[in-house]
Amino acid sequence: MNLHLLAGVAVLLILVGVSAYREALRNEPIRRARTRSAALPPADEAE
């Protein structure tokens, strides 16, 4: 197999993986925010 073709396929697969990862992060921002705020007590109970 041609080395340039192999490198092109590898770059294409990397770009597809990065695109899928960014799309997954864009669809789940609420879940990440909840896990960070879950460690902190609510404002009413802290006072």
- Tell me the pLDDT tens digit for each residue of 1-30: 799 999 999 999 999 999 999 998 888 766
DSSP string, 6-43: HHHHHHHHHHHHHHHHHHHHHH-HHHHHHHHHHTSPPH
Give the pLDDT confidence score for residue 2 in this predicted structure: 93
Give the pLDDT confidence score for residue 27 in this predicted structure: 82
Rounded to a whole number, what is the distance in angstroms from the first to the last CA of the chain? 68
Give the pLDDT confidence score for residue 28 in this predicted structure: 75
HSE-up of 22 (CA within 13 Å, CB side)?
6
State the pLDDT confidence band at 38, using cuts at 50, 70 and 90.
low
